[in-house]
C-alpha cells in the first residue's frame, strides 16, 4: 500500500501475507499486530516512549541466559503467562498455574510417605491427597513431580549451599490415586529485580513478591498433564501475587495439629513429637 495511514496500517499488514501462509500463523500475527497498533494509537505513543520500550527489550536480551529468562519473567508480570495457563485449563479440572523457571527434568524419586525436607530444619508439613478424574474416581499410579523453596526462600538450582535436588521429588500415586509426603512450609520469595522487569515493577510501585506455594506437575496415562501450584490460605501475598498465579481452587488450608498426633505410615513417623502442619489437596485431571 502506497499510502499507509494510522487507520489502515493493520489492514495493510494483514494484506502482506502470502497466499499459502499457514492460517493459524496468519491469524496470530495479524491479531498481534492489530492489538499492538490499537495500543499505540490509544496511548499516542511518543518516539521517546517507543525508544524506552526498545531499550528495555535490549536489556532483557542482554540479561537473559539459559538459567534466567527475562522475557518469561516479563510475560509473567504482565499476566500473559497466567492468562495462557487459564485459557488452556480445561473446565472442571484443577486450575493450572505458572510453571516458573525452577522446574528440573530429573528430580529424584520419592516413595509415598517419604520426607522431602531431608535434614532441613523447620516445622513439619504433612501433605497428602488424591489424584482423581472429573467424577471423583481415583486416577491410579499418576506421576507427581513436586518442588518448592528451601526455608531460605531459594530453590536448589539457585543455591550452591543446598544439597543437589533438595526440595524436588518425583512420586507415583498408589492404586487409589493417593499421594503423601512430609516437608517444611515453602516460603514467600521475590522474582529477580536486577533487570528491566525489576525496573518496571519499581516504576509501577509494585512489589516483586510471590505467595509461598508448592509446585506440582501431574501426569497420568489418558489424562491431560496438569501444571499447577497450591497456596496456603494465610499467605500475605495471596491477593497480590506479582505473577498472577493464584486461583481460588488452588488455595488450601494448613491445619495446625497438636503434638503427639502425627500419623503412622511416614518415613518420619515416630520421630515427630511436636505440633505439625497438615494439608490435604486433591487434584482433578481431565481425560484426553
255 counts as binding a second copy under rule CB under 8 A: no
218 counts as binding a second copy under rule CB under 8 A: no
Q: Within a 10 A sphere around the Cβ of 265, how many other Cβ atoms?
A: 9
The interface with a second copy within residues 174-213 (CB under 8 A) comprises 200, 203-206
Nearest 5 degrees, angle CA 114-CA 120-CA 124? 60
When binding is defined by CB under 8 A, the residue of 75, 132, 148, 183 that contacts a second copy is 75
Computed on alpha carbons and rounded to an integer, the radius of gyration of the chain in Å comes to 23
**Residue 204 CB, nearest distance to a second copy (Å)?**
5
**Residue 202 CB, nearest distance to a second copy (Å)?**
9
Cell of 103: 522446574
Cell of 34: 492489530
Q: How far apart are CA 284 and CA 131, in angstroms?
A: 6
Nearest 5 degrees, angle CA 70-CA 73-CA 76? 155
For a second copy, what does the binding mask look like between residues 34 and 73, x meaning CB under 8 A? -xxxxxxxxxxxxx-xx---x--xx-xxx-x----x-xx-
143 counts as binding a second copy under rule CB under 8 A: no
Strand, helix or coil for residue 26: helix
Residue recorded with cell 503412622? 264
**Residue 104 CB, nearest distance to a second copy (Å)?**
18
Nearer to a second copy, 38 or 221 (CB): 38
**Residue 56 CB, nearest distance to a second copy (Å)?**
9
103 counts as binding a second copy under rule CB under 8 A: no
**Residue 127 CB, nearest distance to a second copy (Å)?**
21
When binding is defined by CB under 8 A, the residue of 134, 188, 251, 268 that contacts a second copy is 251
Nearer to a second copy, 64 or 172 (CB): 64
Nearer to a second copy, 32 or 253 (CB): 32
Q: How far apart are CA 83 and CA 97, in angstroms?
A: 9
Distances (CA, A) of 239 to 41, 139, 175, 188, 245: 32, 32, 37, 13, 10
Q: How far apart are CA 177 and CA 284, in angstroms?
A: 11
Amino acid at each position: 500500500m502506497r499510502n499507509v495511514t494510522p487507520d489502515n496500517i493493520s489492514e495493510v499488514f494483514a494484506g502482506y501475507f502470502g497466499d499459502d501462509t499457514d492460517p493459524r500463523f496468519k491469524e496470530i500475527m495479524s491479531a498481534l499486530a492489530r492489538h499492538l497498533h490499537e495500543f499505540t494509537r490509544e496511548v499516542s505513543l511518543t518516539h521517546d516512549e517507543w525508544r524506552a520500550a526498545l531499550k528495555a527489550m535490549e536489556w532483557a536480551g542482554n540479561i537473559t541466559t539459559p538459567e534466567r529468562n527475562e522475557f518469561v519473567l516479563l510475560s509473567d508480570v504482565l499476566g500473559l503467562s497466567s492468562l495462557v495457563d487459564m485459557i488452556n485449563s480445561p473446565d472442571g479440572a484443577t486450575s493450572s498455574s505458572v510453571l516458573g523457571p525452577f522446574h528440573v527434568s530429573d528430580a529424584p524419586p520419592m516413595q509415598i510417605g517419604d520426607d522431602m525436607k531431608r535434614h532441613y530444619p523447620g516445622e513439619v508439613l504433612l501433605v497428602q491427597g488424591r489424584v482423581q478424574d472429573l467424577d471423583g474416581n481415583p486416577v491410579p499410579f499418576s506421576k507427581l513431580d513436586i518442588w518448592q523453596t528451601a526455608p531460605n526462600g531459594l530453590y536448589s538450582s539457585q543455591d550452591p549451599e543446598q544439597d543437589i535436588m533438595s526440595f524436588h521429588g518425583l512420586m507415583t500415586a498408589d492404586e487409589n490415586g493417593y499421594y503423601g509426603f512430609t516437608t517444611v512450609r515453602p516460603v514467600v520469595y521475590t522474582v529477580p529485580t536486577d533487570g528491566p522487569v525489576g525496573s518496571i515493577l519499581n516504576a509501577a510501585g509494585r512489589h516483586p513478591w510471590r505467595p509461598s506455594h508448592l509446585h506440582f506437575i501431574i501426569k497420568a496415562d489418558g489424562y491431560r498433564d496438569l501444571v499447577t501450584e497450591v497456596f496456603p490460605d494465610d499467605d500475605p501475598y495471596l491477593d497480590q501475587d506479582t505473577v498472577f498465579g493464584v486461583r481460588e481452587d488452588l488455595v488450601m488450608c494448613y491445619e495446625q495439629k497438636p503434638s503427639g498426633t502425627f500419623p503412622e505410615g511416614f518415613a518420619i513417623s515416630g520421630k515427630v513429637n511436636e505440633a505439625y502442619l497438615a494439608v490435604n489437596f486433591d487434584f482433578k485431571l481431565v481425560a484426553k
